Structure 1
Amino acid sequence: MKRYAFVTTIPIRTGALQRGVAIITRHNGNINRVHFDRSIDPHTVFFEVTAKPEEYEQIRQELTDIGYLQTSLETFASLKIHIHLPHESGALNEFLIMTTGAGAQVTSITFDDAGIHPDRVTIAMSVREIGPAEQLLDALKSRYPIEVLEFDNTGETLDDTVFYLRFAQKMRTLIESDDDDFLLRFLGDINHTAQDLTARGEDPKTVFRNVLEAGEYIATTCGDGFYADVQIVHLSEEVTLYAIQLPGGGNIYLFRTLDGFEMLDTGYAVYHQDVMQLFAAYALPVAEQLTRIITSHGDADHCGAGGFFDVPAIMHPATREIIRTGNRAWGSRNEGLVLEEIYTTMIALYSRWNPPAEDNIRLICPETDEKRSIFPVVCRLTIGDLGFEVLETPGGHQVGELVLYCPEKGYLFTADSLMNFASLTEERRRYNSYADYLVTSVNVDSDLARAERRALIGLAQEFTEETGRPCTVFGGHGAVSEYRDGALTIVGAVEHYTHAGGRELPEKNT
């Protein structure tokens, strides 16, 4: 038997929910999940059932026959007007006959002949589909003196009696999909997240708000809203590094060598055109001279734009599986958690996920049994004249995460296992908080993540003790920093970039 998910719309009357459940039961469907909360939306019920294919089709047909099964997302327009009706018997009734005939649902009405406007009725309505709403408005104008207070065809002003419809219409713009069937399935997934987090004590409306705000932030920081903070670090005689903090998600580290460019992590795909414009502003011909991508791990903000480049992409075998399965918790003890899988899907949609093509993936295979601290040294690689050990983390943030360490220079690229949180702007902190909230932790194993962080700090301390020089930490987020006296301090200058303003003068940090 197979598991199926679907959405139903039920009327507000006694026994309505039981009627739908009875149909599922009659055709031997086993209900695995049901979620209905009248305080969110008084009509919408989400189901997941296990059934044989032929029985599921019978369930769908009967639910369709009684008008329960939701197969599309209707477009609503909301209309609010002042209307002057004749002060005579039947005037309001005639008006309501017109609105009812147009399929309008009255959401509020106020009239008082002893008030300050004794001949004016204020009425708000929602009308299915935009065309009929405009036709109704024209018909009313031809018959009554009216003042239009509000006409909205975006769904923004609809009330919570159609909460999920409003939510889905907002999601439609964020993921740019006109496929109602896909949107309904995705809406079911987001509802599942809300159900799970509500069981953990969270407010469901807060869950939905976080889901939308995460997508809205990404959308508003593309194009004209794009910005980045850039540090230029001369790593050696042959290698110059451009450390680029994007508006949301992980950093891009671009190495300029005598032979071209190498890139550690690519950022979100949705920022790709903006990043290429930034490269042009810095006179970096990356499209023509990029030779290799190194992928630290499989989150969309680190590998999500790899598919735009037809070059080898080095990664751990687990990272390839995370890309293939679309589950950031693959291989961890949290692999089966609903929150992880749905969050991965959500961010992939928001960020237009485009990971490296399979043909370009080059897997790192362990070459020795050597370890540095708790980290296996899975291989070594050279960037320009710098030699790096590639270390595999225990899988606290994500299984297969890679750290690059240059023991000669004390350069430590720590991915998401260690970063200078204090260097994050308020906007970036707020964006990062959405992931923490929606999956309860960005780490798939918090105990291992703490061990990773301690071990990486230990490597930095060890380098300083042995050489008398600070270790430079290049985190997956935040500014490039030096580890000094138990703290991370921003190193060098940070330039702020926007498309409109270009490269702004850097501010020195000490």
Structure 2
Amino acid sequence: MYRIELDYGKGGFACIPALKGGVFPLCPRKINNPQVNRVNKYSFVARMPDRPGALHRAAEIIKSYSGNIIRVQYDRRIDPATVFFEVVAAPEGYARIKEDLHAIGYLQESLPTPGFLKFSVYLPHEPGSLFDLLTYITGAGANIAYIDFDERRQDPGRVTISLSVEESEVVDSLLDRLKSRYRLEILEYDTTGEKLDDTVFYVRFAQALRGLIGSAEDEFLLSLLQDINHIVQELNNLGQDPKEVFDCILRTGKTLRETTGDRFYADVQRIPLNDAVEVLCFQMPCGGNIFMLNAPEESVMIDTGYGIYHQDALRMFQHYGIGDQGRIRRIYITHADADHCGAAGFFDAKACTHPWSVEIIRRANRAYGSRSESSILEEVYTTVINLFSHFTPPENPETFPTERLASRSIFPVIARFAVHDLEFEVLESLGGHMHGQVYFLCPTHGIIFTSDTLINFGSLDDDRKRYNSLADFLVTSVNVDSERARQERTALLGLIRDLDEELAPTGRRCLVAGGHGAISALSPEGRLEAVGPIERYLPREAR
């Protein structure tokens, strides 16, 4: 096999093999480039055995109908038989490309789950015996993933073979033929795809994804594979191990799924703000906090956590005496990340957020509006985490006005709202963590909801730190503009120190309710320290 390296500019180098195989057509997407705005982008996943000239033949077909290959990625370390590429073409040209690829046997629109078979046979000690065995296997259309034979062993005639076969009927027919001629031992036989080796890595990975997101059509899974492969390509160009990227993606989904139901937990603080209103902080197993401002006439939620935790959160609210959903009439959302607004759509309550957060949700790109807007990592991570976390954002949320009413430090005050007798200001961030992020400040009672700009990282347990590190790895930084994020942190710390001085005669300090971790206060040394007792909530069946 040989490889060709093509430089596609920002996408970096991609390696493609001279191979033959199937090409998976995926959903078309519009191209924003005005030079090609009358064509669509189509994604293909090619699965090819080694055969010189095959890729050239496919490229020739694409070229013949004025198609242009804009991305290619292949890495033998991941999967020796799979190539990802994207083309732009007019719809009618794409239809002809499909026809011709289908005619030569390259086009596939399904994601089969090959069975895995490992067995031993005992061959007679005579010329051509191994050749005869391989003839049976080749005739069955099976791919050999592993073979082991050495006549100098104690059982010199024993050959151990692993196969991957797409149709179980073929396996049964092959076994029947082998049993009629050889002594045969079945070592493993699996039809779920779990035992497959890395010669079909992407098939195995797709099946793992299906287990995390539920039943999905092959076309959807193939499209998702194309997107995930783009993350891998980008991070590989930054020096990351591709297998580690795939592992991080699966661990993200598995961790979310494995912290629901009887394995759900939360760390809870309950702090009175005055005689009538208390704040409850629920640190979820993964992702952002849910805050509840519990007042005599209503409960006001600030951020909602992931959608996947919604049912667990409702049971938890009931445990703490705030389970009446009719009391939750308002939800204020700090920003559009899935762990902060991803359950809002489940509530029959008025949700309010920044208009740019609404646009981020609509575009499904957490980097929208920032200097990182064109980042493939940010866009694809948004797709993946929304799927894994059962993203259910608010429908038709109200939006804060964006006209500056006043200023707090470097932040515009763009709106105000009240919870009982607590008056809050809505501060517009600079967009360091995300475009449209806001903070909620009650200066008279000394509490500020700082979202993901200011967090007491020391209060996070090891499991939460490990989960948060997965996102850091996959997007390289959870802040879409790190320089602005630093400016925001510095300004918030200064604002909190000023409020501490104002509150000092009352004996209180400003409470810092970060997007993750415990509600804290700023120590004289400038560290965030958790305030009050923190208890661990567990569902009844886990207590």
With the length of structure 1 as denominator, give the TM-score of the two structures: 0.93
Match of 1:412 in 2: 448
178-187 or 109-118, larger mean C-alpha shift: 109-118
Equivalent position of 2:360 in the other structure: 322
Question: How much has 1:392 moved relative to structure 2?
Answer: 0.8
Match of 1:431 among 463, 467, 477: 467
How far apart are the structure 2 equivalents of 1:198 and 1:165? Answer: 20
Q: How does 1:120-135 map to 2 (within 5 A)?
A: 120-130=158-168, 132-133=170-171
How far apart are residue 368 of structure 1 and its match? 4.6
Within the alignment, does 1:272 sit opposite 2:319 as a pair?
Answer: no
How far is the alpha carbon of 1:88 from its aligned partner? 5.1
* 3-state SS of paired residue (1:78): strand
Residues 109 and 123, structure 1, Cα contact 8 Å, conserved in 2: yes
User: Which deviates further from its counterpart, 161-170 or 183-192?
Assistant: 161-170
Aligned to 1:481: 520
Q: Return the offset for 1:365.
A: 0.8
Q: Relative to structure 1, is the Cα distance of residues 136 and 497 closer, same or farther in structure 2, using a 3 angstrom cutoff?
A: farther
Match of 1:305 among 343, 354, 357: 343
- Whether the 8 Å CA contact 2:372–2:481 is kept in 1: the answer is yes
> Whole-Å Cα distance in 2 between the matches of residues 500 and 132 of structure 1?
49
Q: 1:465 aligns with which of 483, 501, 508?
A: 501
> Which residue of 2 is the match for residue 353 of structure 1?
391
| Farther-moved stretch of structure 1 (256-265 vs 68-77) | 68-77
Q: Which moved more, 1:172-181 or 1:275-284?
A: 275-284
Q: Does 1:446 align with 2:486?
A: no
Given that residues 7 and 69 in structure 1 are in contact (C-alpha distance below 8 angstroms), is that contact kept between their aligned partners in structure 2? no
**1:401 matched residue in structure 2:** 437
Identity over the aligned pairs, expressed in percent? 51
1:164: how far off?
Answer: 1.4
- SS for the counterpart of 2:368 is coil
Partner of 2:408: 372
Moved more, 97-106 or 221-230: 97-106
What code does the residue aligned with 1:214 have? Answer: T
**CA offset digits 1:60-109 (Å, max 9, x no partner):** 22222222234211111212123344555565455444444443222222
Contact map agreement 1:5 1:185 (CA 8 A) in 2: yes
Aligned CA distance change for structure 1 residues 135 and 427 (closer, same or farther; 3 Å)? farther
**Take 1:138 and 1:315, find their aligned partners in 2: how far apart are those partners?**
65
Aligned residue number for residue 191 of structure 2: 153
1:287: which partner in 2?
A: 325
Q: Could you tell me how far apart the structure 1 residues matched to 2:65 and 2:444 are?
A: 69
Secondary structure of 2:534's partner? strand
Q: Please give the per-residue CA displacement for 1:162-213, whole angstroms capped at 9, x wherever unaligned.
A: 1211111111111213311111111111111111122222222222221111
Q: Secondary structure at the match of 1:493?
A: coil
Given the alignment of the two structures, is residue 13 of structure 1 paired with residue 45 of structure 2, yes or no?
Answer: no
* Residue 8 of structure 2: aligned partner: none
CA distance in 1, matches of 2:318, 2:510: 31
| Corresponding position of 1:336 | 374
Whether the 8 Å contact between 1:9 and 1:69 is mirrored in structure 2 is: no
Over 3 Å counting, the alpha-carbon distance change for 1:175 and 1:130 in structure 2 is: farther
In the alignment, the residues of structure 1 paired with residue 542 and residue 322 of structure 2 have an alpha-carbon distance, to the nearest angstrom, of 14
**Contact kept in structure 2, 1:470 and 1:484, CA below 8 Å:** no
Root mean square deviation, CA, Å:
2.0
Aligned in 2, Cα 1:225/1:103: closer, same or farther, shift over 3 Å? farther
* Alpha-carbon distance in 1 for matches of 2:265, 2:178: 48
Q: How many residues align?
A: 501
Compare 220-229 and 123-132 and name the one that shifted more: 123-132
1:38 aligned partner: 76
The 1-side partners of 2:54 and 2:333 are apart by 52
Instruction: State how far apart, in whole Å, the 1-side matches of 2:437 and 2:340 are.
Output: 11
How far does residue 355 in structure 1 lie from its aligned partner after superposition?
0.4
Taking the aligned partners of 2:149 and 2:380, their CA distance within structure 1 comes to: 47
Which residue pairs with 1:508 in the alignment? none
Deviation digits for residues 307-365 of structure 1, max 9, x if unmatched? 1011100111111111111111111121122111111111111111110112xx11111
Structure 1 stretch 378-387 or stretch 110-119: which is displaced more? 110-119
Q: Tell me how far apart the structure 1 counterparts of residues 171 and 373 of structure 2 sit (CA, whole Å).
A: 47
Evaluate the alpha carbon distance shift between residue 300 and residue 116 of structure 1 in structure 2; reply closer, same or farther with a 3 A threshold.
Answer: same
| 2:40 counterpart of 1:2 | yes
Distance verdict in 2 for CA 1:89–1:502, change over 3 Å: closer
- What code does the residue aligned with 1:438 have? L
In structure 1, C-alpha distance between the alignment counterparts of 2:101 and 2:152, rounded to whole Å = 48
Residue 458 of structure 2 corresponds to residue 422 of structure 1: yes
**Contact 2:165 2:171 (8 Å CA) reproduced:** yes
Aligned to 2:25: none
- Cα pair distance change 1:24/1:116, threshold 3 Å: same
Q: In the alignment, what sits opposite 1:210?
A: 248
Distance 1:46 1:245 in 2: 40
**Structure 1 position 495 matched with structure 2 position 523:** no
Aligned-partner Cα distance in 2 for 1:36–1:471? 54
Give, in whole Å, the separation in 2 of the partners of 1:300 and 1:446.
Answer: 20
Q: Contact 2:405 / 2:415 at 8 angstroms: preserved in 1?
A: no
In the other structure, the counterpart of 2:148 is 110
d(CA) in 2 for partners of 1:46 and 1:168? 14
Q: 1:206 and 1:54 mapped to 2: Cα distance?
A: 40
Give 1:506's aligned residue.
none
Q: 1:237 to 1:334 in 2, by over 3 A?
A: same
